[in-house]
Structure 1
Amino acid sequence: MDKQHKSYQYAYAVSKNKINAPKYVKLQAKQFLKIANNRDKLYIIDEQKLKTMNELLKLLVMPKGLQAGQTVYNALAGFQWMFLVAVLCIVHKDNHAKRRYENAILEICRKNGKTFLVGLIFIILMFLEPKYSKFYSVAPDGSLSREVKTAIEEIIGSSPALLGKLNGKEKFKLLRDYIHCNITENRYIPLNYTNSRLDGKLPSVFLVDETGALPNTYAIEAMRSGQLTILNKLGIIISTKYPTITNPFEDEVEYAKRVLTGAVEDDKTFSLLYEPDNQKAWATNDGILEQANPLALEIPEIMENLKEKRAKAIEIESKRENFITKHCNIIYSGAGSESFVNVADLQNGAVEHIDWSGKDVFIGVDLALTTDNVAVSMVSYDEESDAVLADVKAFLPEDRIEEKSKLERIPYHDFIKAAYAIACGDRTVDYGAIERYVMAIEETFDVTVLGIGYDRWNALSSAQKWEEEGYTTVEIKQHSSVLHPPTKWLSELVSNGKFIYEKGNKLLEINFQNARCVYDTNMNRYVNKKRSTGKIDMVVATINAMYLLQQDYMFNETMNWAIQT
């Protein structure tokens, strides 16, 4: 490959740290360079296909923006080139007709030419793919779906080479429901998730835009299932971050990360994940803007605009969530929405496994209505790391799993299979199962239970049974004056990455994401169920456990001080 090509230059600069790029982009850039330098045993860049794409992009003209009037070939940024070359031009060495990548994921902030790149991809495919191919884009609603189609029409309308007739027919037929290329007989069709049935399509290539706004994975899976008979199948997933960890895009991103780190073997997935390595100090760290906005590194005006938006977000609290989520690619829920913690901070404490053997633990329970979710939390203080370890389980009525999964949009079946949730009872939770679970904790985890904290309102009967078995139980008054200290301590631990839990417990992350705080007249902070946006039983149970742990910790600190003096 020509080392002067923009795609190569970008990958090289990233790999040598000459461009400030996130760690996952660096990993992908190194893989790209290995192929570009012809050091890969299986794959190579198809030079003829690359040459065809280069010539085509020289005929296309930028329709608007700071580079309006330039050829697309000259205007494309390095990361855009790398994405296009990798996805469309890397092929099998023993079969140049077969592309390597079938899945492509682009995680990028707003105002980085995302919609333009989407439109450009479809125009290129109109000319590169076999005759009679069909391309689909799926968006969460009609407005977003029309944006992609509009971007394609604008590029066509600004490029003289694509206008006019060929052999007596217009080169492109621009209709309300699709765009047809009469040169190749290929067709692009925009689909609206909310009112289009997506099954039964036969897409050579599909693209899902703003994937983070989709309610579930149906659109992606319907498109992929329609590609079973396609030789060069390709699915492209593109989105910014959204202020939720429960969306289809986060699943795709997490999978791509595992592929890049080698945890999963999959040579058919390509990704550029512009998610900053450091997700703190957004107000002062320019590196966050640089890593999340690759276009801003090539167009200074964009970086200046981002810094202006950041200044406003610093001064105006209500603008922070949108700025941090959409322009920094960090999942954030700020004080403007009274969120308890930042989920990105919480995830810094996620580990693969916790060894509980021999530890002293405290148990917190949140036994709400029997028809609702309840939770049991186990916590322990680790002196070596000055961190708190936690294992939290949710319990829910077995006969309501399907109903709750649909209403709450949470895949409870998956969490039950992973043992982070337990189904018991029928239409109501079986408190007996919860009581037995708590009494089996010592044997199950090889720990010593020092105390069980509970709310008198729904747990009095269970507490009496635990007491009869010899456990120490403590009633925890659910009042801000009592709950403020453990709530504050838990929040601080999360902010410092010292609240440790198992990475697979996404249900716990969802509960933290849902949790909202309020303040009483004395500015005591506490988590409020009515103000929260979903189930928070796992958080409440953890705060109850943290209350006992904090009391024990303070007592031991006082005793140590007394002994030392």
Structure 2
Amino acid sequence: MILIEKALKYCNDVVNGEEITTDEVKKQCEIFLNDYNINQYDDNFEFCFSKKKLKVINDLLKLLNYATGFVAGKNVLDGLVGFQALFLCALFGWRYKNDLNKFRYRDIVLFIPRKNAKTFIVAVIFILLMLTEQKYSEFYSICIDRDLARELRKAMAQIIEASPVIAKHFFVSESDIGKIKCKLTNSFYLPRTSKANKNNSIRPACVCCDEVGAFTTNDNIQAMRKGQLSVKNPIMAKTTTAYAESDSVMLEELEYDRAVLDGTISNPRIFSLIYYCTREEAWTEEGLYKANPLRIEENYQEIRNDRETAKIKTSEQEELFTKNFNIFLETNEMNKYINIDYWKKCRVDKVDFDGEEVIVGIDLSVTTDLTAVGIMYKKNNKIYCNSHGFLPRESLKTRREDIDYVAYERLDYCDIHDGMTVDYEKVEEYVRSIEKVHNCKIKAIVTDPMNAKEMMGRLGNDYDVVLLKQTYTNLSPATKEFRKKIYDGLVLYKKNELLDWNMRNATTSKGKADDEMLNKENKNKQRIDMVVVLIFCYTELIDDGNNYSAIDILDSMDW
């Protein structure tokens, strides 16, 4: 049988090292071969591989034709490559010994880069299931938005239209988000978006969570899963490329899948193929082949060209890493302000402000946001600094970030005020106490003029207050130079894990003249306020010792 022959050849090539791939795929192939050759004949093993059931799938694949690409018009069975055949054999071949109509695998995972026919193979699976599963079965795909959701439906419609023997048994709605219905079984497929409250009261036989790497919550997936409780053959398929998304639910899924593959967790009902490479491998031919199992040279050459471009145009590296090499990145990682490891090298247990002239930076939030006050001075070309946070107690219950602010308050990283809004009076008290607590002299206070004008007016009666609008012109020099100081090891800051977290979150945006400033978008999720105040402070220190006066220079010249 062609299908199982292709699958077994792929598994053997992987295990024998003839196929360049990931350790995870190698482990999955080893499991498949052990179960196929040995375990299924053990009376205590509850699954078997049904060649009779697979023969039906094998023959149906002869009737399906490719609609697009280099193999358009060719029948699907002949065109399938090894990993695709393995994926189909795992799903349709493995059954329960005591009920050959029940699939072994409840969950199937395909983590694979773009240009590897991910959507195509899922479309084929859905068509096959609609033809072979129980009558009146329901099939759905969920995506983060409607545009992505229609991609799987489009692939299904194209395959059906390109396969005349099969096409007469399907009704395909003219709407690009409409139903596809199998006339033989009265089963239907419908694309949906990933809104949990919209995915209740349905009974899916199979759900494809497509591009699940973009999901930041499991609510939509769980809503679908709960709807499968009364289904005989429930299947949850998770397919995706990587994303630059720190909170992706796929990161946790991959850790679980790896734990199953290495035997840490026992779950014989999940099958996963995980393709990717490391960031270092992405620049090599081995990484190219390891991450991309669909062996099409035209695709490889296109990726090579993109890779060469990305070496020069670094702004394109995020797309290259995530979509062509399946490397998950942190949100905005390619725009990260600093390598956090270098920042942590600057950490000390204590910063002594005694007898120094300091700059104070204040970033005042509007209401419930994180407020911060920074203190900084420069001595012997080194920067000494500290940052402190403030937030209202009543906001803790609804804050989106997973931070234990109460514990951080005990460590003196922040102050928590009673109420639902930031207490500006207590912030002002903190600022006014700096000179007494640290035995130092406030040289200037730097703040954004937008918030708490009354408070800054009062402070202005006793201190030199600098109102600094947050523009590229005002902030770019300090932003860049402070980062250079960090990389040069010339910054010392008092240990503060809340400040570290803010620094990890910090990203930058660039202006037209390559100016750069901290990016304060999406602040509800990515707090950076305690870093902002340090940049504010450094605006007053950046020219310290390097003041340039055109008049003085002209006066010193011999006219």
Partner of 1:436: none
Alpha-carbon spacing, 1:462–1:288, altered in 2? closer, same or farther (3 Å): farther
What is the number of equivalent residue pairs in this alignment? 464
Task: Tell me by how many angstroms 1:223 deviates.
Answer: 0.4
Partner of 1:400: 395
CA distance in 2 between counterparts of 1:51 and 1:206 reads: 24
1:535 to 523, 526, 535: 526
Q: Show the 5 A alignment for 1:479-518.
A: 480=479, 483-485=482-484, 487-488=486-487, 512=504, 514-516=506-508
Alpha-carbon spacing, 1:482–1:178, altered in 2? closer, same or farther (3 Å): closer
Partner of 1:174: 172
Q: Is the 8 A contact 1:512 1:539 kept in 2?
A: no
User: Structure 2-normalised TM-score?
Assistant: 0.69
Encode CA deviations 1:263-313: one digit per residue, 9 max, x unaligned.
43333322212121x22253x312222122111xx2222111211222222
Residue 138 of structure 1 aligns to a residue whose secondary structure is strand
1:157 to 135, 158, 161: 161
CA distance in 1 between counterparts of 2:388 and 2:233 reads: 44
Alpha-carbon spacing, 1:333–1:98, altered in 2? closer, same or farther (3 Å): closer
Q: Is the 8 A contact 1:337 1:516 kept in 2?
A: no
Encode CA deviations 1:417-470: one digit per residue, 9 max, x unaligned.
998999955425799xxxxxxxxxxxxxxxxxxxxxxxx9996578789869xx
Q: Is the 8 A contact 1:334 1:342 kept in 2?
A: no
Task: Tell me by how many angstroms 1:210 deviates.
Answer: 1.6
Residue 59 of structure 1 aligns to a residue whose secondary structure is coil
2:336 to 332, 339, 361: 339
CA distance in 2 between counterparts of 1:84 and 1:462 reads: 69
Task: Tell me by how many angstroms 1:133 deviates.
Answer: 0.9
User: Structure 1-normalised TM-score?
Assistant: 0.68
CA distance in 2 between counterparts of 1:421 and 1:138 reads: 42
Encode CA deviations 1:37-75: one digit per residue, 9 max, x unaligned.
132533332222211111111111111111112111111
Alpha-carbon spacing, 1:510–1:268, altered in 2? closer, same or farther (3 Å): farther
Q: Is the 8 A contact 1:243 1:325 kept in 2?
A: yes
Q: Show the 5 A alignment for 1:444-483.
A: 460=431, 480=479, 483=482
Question: Does 2:147 correspond to 1:143?
Answer: yes
In structure 1, stretches of 5+ residues that fail to align are: 165-170, 347-358, 377-391, 432-455, 469-474, 491-501, 548-565
Question: Does 2:220 correspond to 1:219?
Answer: yes
CA distance in 2 between counterparts of 1:98 and 1:363 reads: 66
Give the 4+ runs in structure 1 shifted more than 6 A.
1-4, 333-337, 392-395, 417-423, 456-459, 461-468, 475-478, 507-511, 541-544
Residue 5 of structure 1 aligns to a residue whose secondary structure is helix
CA distance in 2 between counterparts of 1:458 and 1:244 reads: 39
Question: Does 2:284 correspond to 1:285?
Answer: yes
Partner of 1:321: 318
Alpha-carbon spacing, 1:481–1:211, altered in 2? closer, same or farther (3 Å): closer
Q: Is the 8 A contact 1:397 1:428 kept in 2?
A: yes
The structure whose Rg is larger is: 2
Question: Does 2:296 correspond to 1:299?
Answer: yes
Alpha-carbon spacing, 1:462–1:241, altered in 2? closer, same or farther (3 Å): farther
CA distance in 2 between counterparts of 1:334 and 1:317 reads: 16
Task: Tell me by how many angstroms 1:489 deviates.
Answer: 6.0
Encode CA deviations 1:211-234: one digit per residue, 9 max, x unaligned.
233453232111011111222211
Aligned identity (percent) is: 29
CA distance in 1 between counterparts of 2:155 and 2:192 reads: 15
Q: Show the 5 A alignment for 1:362-381.
A: 369=364, 371-373=368-370
CA distance in 1 between counterparts of 2:180 and 2:483 reads: 59
Please tell me the residue identity of whatever aligns with 1:372: D
Q: Is the 8 A contact 2:207 2:236 kept in 1?
A: yes
Encode CA deviations 1:88-139: one digit per residue, 9 max, x unaligned.
3222334433322212221111111111112111001112211111111112
CA distance in 2 between counterparts of 1:417 and 1:223 reads: 35
Please tell me the residue identity of whatever aligns with 2:109: I
Partner of 1:54: 58
Q: Is the 8 A contact 2:88 2:125 kept in 1?
A: yes
CA distance in 2 between counterparts of 1:9 and 1:235 reads: 27
Alpha-carbon spacing, 1:9–1:180, altered in 2? closer, same or farther (3 Å): same
Task: Tell me by how many angstroms 1:140 deviates.
Answer: 2.2
Partner of 2:206: 205
Q: Is the 8 A contact 2:369 2:422 kept in 1?
A: yes
Partner of 2:83: 79
Alpha-carbon spacing, 1:488–1:88, altered in 2? closer, same or farther (3 Å): farther
Partner of 1:240: 241
Partner of 2:13: 13
Question: Does 2:114 correspond to 1:110?
Answer: yes
Question: Does 2:97 correspond to 1:93?
Answer: yes
CA distance in 2 between counterparts of 1:294 and 1:65 reads: 16
Tell which deviates more after alignment, 103-112 or 88-97: 88-97
Alpha-carbon spacing, 1:44–1:309, altered in 2? closer, same or farther (3 Å): same
Partner of 2:192: 191
Please tell me the residue identity of whatever aligns with 1:213: A
Task: Tell me by how many angstroms 1:258 deviates.
Answer: 2.9
Partner of 2:451: none
Q: Is the 8 A contact 2:136 2:186 kept in 1?
A: yes
Alpha-carbon spacing, 1:363–1:429, altered in 2? closer, same or farther (3 Å): farther
CA distance in 2 between counterparts of 1:137 and 1:465 reads: 63
Tell which deviates more after alignment, 227-236 or 189-198: 189-198
CA distance in 2 between counterparts of 1:45 and 1:6 reads: 15
CA distance in 1 between counterparts of 2:436 and 2:103 reads: 64
Q: Is the 8 A contact 1:58 1:72 kept in 2?
A: yes
Please tell me the residue identity of whatever aligns with 2:263: G
CA distance in 2 between counterparts of 1:394 and 1:163 reads: 64
Partner of 2:450: none
CA distance in 1 between counterparts of 2:63 and 2:210 reads: 26
Encode CA deviations 1:469-521: one digit per residue, 9 max, x unaligned.
xxxxxx9999558733553269xxxxxxxxxxx9xx9x9889735522779x9
2:125 to 105, 121, 127: 121
CA distance in 2 between counterparts of 1:421 and 1:162 reads: 66
Q: Show the 5 A alignment for 1:548-563.
A: none
Task: Tell me by how many angstroms 1:248 deviates.
Answer: 2.8
CA distance in 1 between counterparts of 2:151 and 2:321 reads: 24
Q: Show the 5 A alignment for 1:396-435.
A: 397-401=392-396, 403-405=398-400, 410=401, 412=402, 416=404, 425=417, 426-428=419-421
Please tell me the residue identity of whatever aligns with 2:508: R
Q: Is the 8 A contact 2:3 2:58 kept in 1?
A: no
Alpha-carbon spacing, 1:110–1:540, altered in 2? closer, same or farther (3 Å): same
CA distance in 2 between counterparts of 1:114 and 1:215 reads: 21
